[in-house]
Structure formats: structure tokens, C-alpha cells
């Protein structure tokens, strides 16, 4: 009792363990037939049968495998942690994975039966022996071995289920539905047929006279159905991921994906990994064609289904996928994994890390292949899952940009389509070595921003970024490319964009110096909302906006907007700069008001220009009513 409750946490796995034991018993007999010509055996006759009796509340797992003698019952079942299968596997290691596929290795799986059973009876007859023996125990007071009857070689494990309590119900384990579910879930790919009596329905054939009479009376006969039971194979046996790729159609892969991962859409991409050597494993991986509804919720759990020797160990092994590839679905199957004694978790993570690294590289390669060969499909993929790739760069402080940056896509204001960084650089002038971008909530609004229009008017492209993680990703990346080809990522609303000519810079500096008192007054009127007011070197034409907001330091307006939505944001604000277009008629109005000594008008114009620039950027203003009143006053 101490061992059972300290090793196992999930009582459902009792059936997995018993079916695995039965499979090992059948495997041992089959292997014996290969090495002993006196054993005449048809492999097609080997099977495992699961049955139940709801009235007596029993569940039985039967096999026609090698069976056990009285001495073997005493040794194998009477000694905890003695594994006859492990000894067999070691003695015949050269055949493991080929002629045989022994699952057991710890000698404790059988005892998981006591999680659901108040009594376990094992009736076994060894191959080549006439007598059968019964081992019986309640899991508390030891065990007995007595003579029994069994018509052929093999073993029956009969569980008498525990009584139900207020907290626990065991009835489900004696139902056809419950047993079928457990077989399909945990033992679907055991290599021998796992069979059950299954309830089915069929239409009852009517006597010919009834049909003729009904036709003569012009009466439509309603079909009648009857239920019957039939011994049916429940498991699939051969895993799809162990079949050769040339033998599996894409339709079969699609059906497996939709059935096992509960999606109604075909996957966007399917690929396999097959590794042999110090660590051998098979993997079948899928990239979904749409994001699950809870992908970005705290309840979503990433991971691949992990199998060992075709038996499910974990439904979602998180260690096999990095967070930025959390959308990948699939299975990994390996005989070489070091499992812990319950086979519910893994003992050594170094093996998992080796598999995870290979899978990560394979996913990256497949995504790049999709980008190159199926642009339309890749754009749909990036719309669904691109946020996760960007978060991977941000969360690694830019360490993963070499692996993930080439998978990112953003809308090009100049080319009017999604482009990669590489495509942006290919179409851009050689200098300055900068990639310009703007962040906001929609492409349409970003395209109209004065700071974006000023860059476009000079012949440079701007990436219009609408995901909430974009700015954080770019800040972590800092640059794209390597060495002399590296390009700085620069927000068009940040400091110097390196686009103004020397003459433009000199003219702006001269104008700023000439109107120092005006800019100082406007800064005071804005009550510390801005770090400074200055002449813009990016807005230089009369037909451009009269003013714009830019920022200094690492925090952009977009980052401020996103962080303001978080709990306990604490009023974080960027270092704002109000830039004025000296060529715009409004600037002349400002300078005239300053010259006339009209401080109220200067204050009014400063507030209007500042709030107007904030609205254009999609930022909230402190007092919308005061802004509306000021506009009305001017009207």
C-alpha cells in the first residue's frame, strides 16, 4: 500500500500497466517461437482481451502469451520490483525493437491494479505446461498461490473493483465506454491487438412478405434496429509515426492530427524526425492552421505527447518545446528514455534536452521552408503565431534573434505588403544602415502619422507594426544582421533618425536658438508633460503636420500605452518631446503671439498642439473637455 500510493498519482494508468504486461508476455512467446522450432505459432492468433462484468464489478485482462509457472508467479508477483521483463530484455537486447518490443523494466506496474481493486486474482498457465495456477491477494495480507484451471497457455488478471465512496467512484472502470477510452488513450499503439466485446447496432432485415405488403398499401416502413455485441480490436497497433513516409498519405496524417489533437482543420504543415544512435526516437510534428482559442491564456499548456515503446507516458511533455514554439503539436516516441519507476515522468532531463534541441532546429527549418515555398500559407501562420516568435526574442533579451529574426514579418508602408527583415534590407538604400518602424493599433492609422509620412517622403520604407509585443521585441533585438551589414532598428518617433541633411540640421538649430524663449514658455505651459519643445528636423514642409510627439530614452509612446494597461502600472510615462514644424503657418501664429506678449494665446496654442499630436499618435489626453472647449473658442 505504501509503495502503490507513493509511486503512482493517476489511477487511470492501471490498465496501461496491465496491457503492457500482457503485451510483454505475448512478445516473449513470439520470440521463443523464433528461436525454438518446436513452438508452432501463428502471430495473427496472438492477442490481448479486456472484459468487464458490471454486476460483479470485475475487470479482466487476458492474454495468450507465454504464461507463468507456480514458481514464476511466486517470484514475479510475490517480489516487489523484480522485473522478469527487464531480465528478458537484457538477455535478448539484440532483438529489442525488432522482433520484440519489451515494455516493462521495473517490476512494479502490476501493483498499480491495487489503486482500483480491492482484490486481484491472476490465473496463469505457462506454455508447454498442463497445470495452471492462481495467485491472489488483497494487497494487504500477503498472497496465496493455488491450483487452478485454464484451457490454454496465457494469463488472466481479474480485478475486483473497490467499493465506491463519497470522494471516489470506481464504476467507470467496469463500463465499455470507460475501458475503451483508457485503451485508446494509453495503449493505442501496443503492437498486439487489444480486443473487447463492443456493443453495436444494425438494421433488422424484414421478411419479404412484409415489404411487399407495405409496397402494395403504399406505406413507408420505418427501419428497425437491434443491438448486438462483437469482439472488436480497439487499438491501432502500428503507430503512424513509425510507418515510412512514403507509405502514409497526407490525408492519413491529417486524419490522425484532427482525431488525436481535437482540431477540425487540417494542419498547415506536417513533418517527421527519425533519429538513430546513442538516443533513438521518432517524432511526428504538426503546425496547426489556426491558433487555439486559449493559446495566449494562462490555462494553455504546451507540449508534445511522449511515448516509450508505443505506450503513452505523458500527454503533454513541456520540456520538448520552447515557449516560442508552443503551438507545435505532435508525438515523440523513444525506447531509450530513462523513465522514473512509475513511468509517469522522466528521470533524466538530459535526454529530453537532446531531443528538444533537435526538434527545435527541425521546426525552424520547416518554417523557413514554408516561408520560401508557400508564402501565402506562411503569412497565415504568422498571423496566428507570430506573436509567440517575437516574444521568444524579447524573453531571451535578444539572444534568440539569430534564430528567429528571419521568421518575422511586418507590413511595409512602401511596398504595401508583409515583408521580412531581409526583404526590407534588400529594397532599402545602402545608407543609413537603419530599419525604420512605427508601432500602433492599426496599419491605416500608422500610415497617416506625420512621423511616418516624413520618412516615406524622403524615400525610405517604414515597417508598420500592430502587435503589442513588436516594440518590446525590437528593443531587445536592437539590430538586425551581423558585422558591417548590421542595421539598427529605429522607431520613427524616437530621437535623431539620421535622415536630415546638414543644412536642415543647421537651419533647425538656428530657428530653435532664435525662439528659445517661446519654447521655454510652451514647456512651462505644458506643466512638465514634455522634456522639451524644439524645432523638428523631420517636419520641414508647409504641407506637413504642424507638430508631432517624439520620445527620448528607451520608453516609446507605444510601450507607454501598453504598459498603462497593466495592473499597477504606476503612471509610467515616456520622455516626450514636442517638435514644431517651423515651415507651417501655425508656427508663425505662435511666434506672433509670443512677440505680442500674449501669454494666454501661447498657452492655448501649446496645449492644442500638444493634445492634437497625442490624439494623432493614438494616445489619451488628460482633459478632453478642455480640449473641446479650446477648439470651440477658436472657432
Secondary structure class of 619 (helix, strand, coil): coil
Which among 446, 438, 607 is positioned nearest to 525, based on CA atoms? 607
Which DSSP string do the residues of 585-603 spell out, in sequence order?
Answer: HHHHHHHHHHHTT-HHHHH
pTM reported for the whole predicted model: 0.75
**Cβ–Cβ contacts within 10 Å for residue 89, how many?**
22
Percent of the chain with pLDDT over 70: 90
Q: List CB contacts of 360: < 8 A, sequence separation 6 or more.
A: 321, 322, 325
pLDDT tens, position by position, 357-405: 999 999 999 999 999 999 999 999 999 999 999 999 999 988 999 999 9
* Mean pLDDT, range 426-440, rounded to an integer: 89
| pLDDT attached to residue 102 | 53
pLDDT tens, position by position, 121-171: 999 999 999 999 999 999 888 899 999 999 999 999 999 999 999 888 999
Residue 580 corresponds to which cell in the numbers above?
A: 514644431
| pLDDT attached to residue 106 | 46
Q: List CB contacts of 93: < 8 A, sequence separation 6 or more.
A: none
* Mean pLDDT, range 516-539, rounded to an integer: 87
Has residue 409 got a pLDDT over 90? yes
Where is 33: in which H helix or E strand?
helix 14-35
Residue 134 · residue 146 · CB < 8 Å:
yes
Residue 236 · residue 189 · CB < 8 Å:
yes
Which among 471, 596, 616 is positioned nearest to 539, based on CA atoms? 616
Burial of residue 443, with CB atoms counted within 10 A of its CB: 0-12 exposed, 13-18 middle, 19 or more buried: middle
Query: Which of residues 118 and 212 earns the better pLDDT score?
Result: 118
In the structure, what pLDDT confidence band is assigned to residue 104 with cuts at 50, 70 and 90?
Answer: very low
Most confident of 335-339, 387-391, 481-485, 494-498: 387-391
* Mean pLDDT, range 278-305, rounded to an integer: 88
Residue 480 · residue 426 · CB < 8 Å:
no
Measure the CA–CA gap between 268 and 289, rounded to whole angstroms.
4
Residue 60 corresponds to which cell in the numbers above?
A: 479482466
Secondary structure class of 153 (helix, strand, coil): coil
pLDDT tens, position by position, 221-240: 678 888 888 999 999 888 88
Where is 284: in which H helix or E strand?
strand 281-287
Has residue 539 got a pLDDT over 60? yes
| pLDDT attached to residue 82 | 54
- Mean pLDDT value across the chain: 86
Most confident of 259-268, 413-422, 542-551: 413-422
| pLDDT attached to residue 377 | 94
pLDDT tens, position by position, 478-493: 999 888 889 999 988 8
Residue 497 corresponds to which cell in the numbers above?
A: 533618425
| pLDDT attached to residue 107 | 58
Where is 403: in which H helix or E strand?
helix 401-404
Residue 475 · residue 504 · CB < 8 Å:
no
Measure the CA–CA gap between 277 and 284, rounded to whole angstroms.
18
| pLDDT attached to residue 92 | 55
Which among 304, 266, 319, 469 is positioned nearest to 386, based on CA atoms? 469
In the structure, what pLDDT confidence band is assigned to residue 554 with cuts at 50, 70 and 90?
Answer: confident
Measure the CA–CA gap between 160 and 114, rounded to whole angstroms.
9
Measure the CA–CA gap between 113 and 8, rounded to whole angstroms.
11
pLDDT tens, position by position, 40-54: 788 888 999 999 999
What are the CA-CA distances from residue 632 to residues 405, 586, 588 (Å)? 49, 17, 21
In the structure, what pLDDT confidence band is assigned to residue 207 with cuts at 50, 70 and 90?
Answer: confident
Residues in the chain: 635
Instruction: Give 13's DSSP letter.
Output: G
Q: Buried b / exposed e across 328-359, counting CB within 10 Å, b at 16+?
A: bbbbbbbbebebebbbeebeeeebbeebbebb
Amino acid at each position: 500500500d505504501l509503495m502503490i500510493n507513493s509511486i503512482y498519482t493517476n489511477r487511470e494508468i492501471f490498465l496501461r500497466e496491465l496491457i503492457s504486461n500482457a503485451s510483454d508476455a505475448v512478445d516473449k512467446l513470439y520470440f521463443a517461437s523464433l528461436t525454438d522450432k518446436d513452438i508452432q505459432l501463428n502471430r495473427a492468433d496472438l492477442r490481448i482481451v479486456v472484459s468487464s462484468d458490471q454486476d460483479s464489478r470485475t475487470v479482466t485482462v487476458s492474454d495468450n502469451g507465454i504464461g507463468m509457472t507456480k514458481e514464476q508467479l511466486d517470484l514475479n508477483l510475490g517480489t516487489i520490483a523484480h522485473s522478469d521483463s527487464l531480465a528478458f530484455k537484457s538477455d535478448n537486447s539484440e532483438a529489442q525493437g525488432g522482433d520484440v518490443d519489451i515494455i516493462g523494466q521495473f517490476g512494479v506496474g502490476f501493483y498499480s491494479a491495487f489503486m482500483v481493486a480491492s482484490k486481484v486474482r491472476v490465473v496463469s498457465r505457462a506454455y508447454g505446461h498442463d497445470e495452471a495456477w492462481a495467485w491472489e491477494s488483497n494487497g494487504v495480507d500477503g498472497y496465496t498461490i493455488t491450483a487452478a484451471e485454464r484451457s490454454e497457455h496465457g494469463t488472466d488478471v481479474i480485478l475486483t473493483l473497490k467499493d465506491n465512496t463519497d470522494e471516489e467512484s470506481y464504476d467507470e472502470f467496469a463500463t465499455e465506454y470507460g475501458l475503451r477510452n483508457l485503451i485508446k488513450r494509453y495503449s493505442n499503439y501496443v503492437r498486439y491487438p487489444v480486443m473487447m466485446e463492443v456493443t453495436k447496432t444494425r438494421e433488422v432485415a424484414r421478411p419479404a412478405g412484409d415489404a411487399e405488403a407495405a409496397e402494395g398499401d403504399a406505406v413507408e416502413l420505418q427501419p428497425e434496429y437491434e443491438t448486438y455485441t462483437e469482439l472488436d480490436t480497439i487499438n491501432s497497433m502500428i503507430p503512424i509515426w513509425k510507418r515510412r513516409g512514403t507509405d502514409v498519405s497526407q490525408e492519413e496524417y491529417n486524419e490522425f492530427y484532427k482525431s488525436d489533437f481535437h482540431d477540425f482543420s487540417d494542419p498547415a504543415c506536417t513533418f517527421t524526425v527519425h533519429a538513430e544512435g546513442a538516443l533513438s526516437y521518432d517524432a511526428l510534428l504538426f503546425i496547426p492552421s489556426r491558433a487555439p482559442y486559449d493559446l495566449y491564456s494562462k490555462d494553455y499548456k504546451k507540449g508534445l505527447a511522449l511515448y516509450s515503446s508505443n505506450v503513452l507516458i505523458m500527454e503533454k511533455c513541456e520540456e520538448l518545446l520552447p515557449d516560442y514554439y508552443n503551438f507545435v503539436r505532435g508525438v515523440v516516441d523513444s525506447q531509450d528514455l530513462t523513465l522514473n519507476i512509475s513511468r509517469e515522468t522522466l528521470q533524466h532531463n538530459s535526454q529530453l534536452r537532446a531531443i528538444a534541441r533537435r526538434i527545435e532546429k527541425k521546426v525552424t527549418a520547416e518554417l523557413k521552408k514554408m516561408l520560401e515555398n508557400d508564402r501565402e500559407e506562411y503569412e497565415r501562420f504568422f498571423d496566428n503565431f507570430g506573436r509567440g516568435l517575437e516574444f521568444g526574442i524579447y524573453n531571451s533579451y535578444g539572444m534568440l534573434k539569430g534564430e528567429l529574426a528571419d521568421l518575422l514579418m511586418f507590413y511595409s508602408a512602401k511596398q504595401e505588403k508583409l515583408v521580412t527583415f531581409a526583404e526590407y534590407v534588400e529594397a532599402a538604400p545602402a545608407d543609413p544602415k537603419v530599419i525604420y518602424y512605427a508601432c500602433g493599433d492599426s496599419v491605416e492609422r500608422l500610415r497617416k502619422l506625420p512621423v511616418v509620412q516624413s520618412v516615406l517622403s524622403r524615400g525610405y520604407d517604414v515597417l508598420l507594426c500592430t502587435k503589442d509585443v513588436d516594440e518590446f521585441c525590437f528593443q531587445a533585438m536592437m539590430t538586425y544582421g551581423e558585422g558591417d551589414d548590421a542595421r539598427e532598428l529605429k522607431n520613427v518617433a524616437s530621437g535623431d533618425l539620421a535622415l536630415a541633411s546638414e543644412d536642415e540640421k543647421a537651419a533647425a538649430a538656428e530657428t530653435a536658438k532664435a525662439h528659445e524663449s517661446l519654447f521655454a514658455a510652451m514647456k512651462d505651459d505644458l506643466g512638465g508633460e514634455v522634456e522639451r519643445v524644439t524645432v523638428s528636423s523631420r517636419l520641414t514642409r508647409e504641407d506637413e503636420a504642424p507638430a508631432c510627439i517624439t520620445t527620448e530614452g528607451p520608453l516609446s509612446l507605444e510601450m507607454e500605452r501598453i504598459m498603462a494597461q497593466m495592473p499597477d502600472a504606476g503612471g509610467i510615462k515616456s520622455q516626450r518631446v514636442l517638435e514644431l514644424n517651423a515651415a507651417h503657418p501655425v508656427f508663425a501664429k505662435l511666434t506672433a503671439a509670443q512677440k505680442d506678449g500674449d501669454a494666454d494665446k501661447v498657452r492655448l496654442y501649446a496645449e492644442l498642439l500638444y493634445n492634437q499630436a497625442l490624439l494623432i499618435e493614438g494616445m489619451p489626453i488628460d482633459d478632453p473637455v478642455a480640449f473641446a472647449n479650446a477648439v470651440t473658442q477658436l472657432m
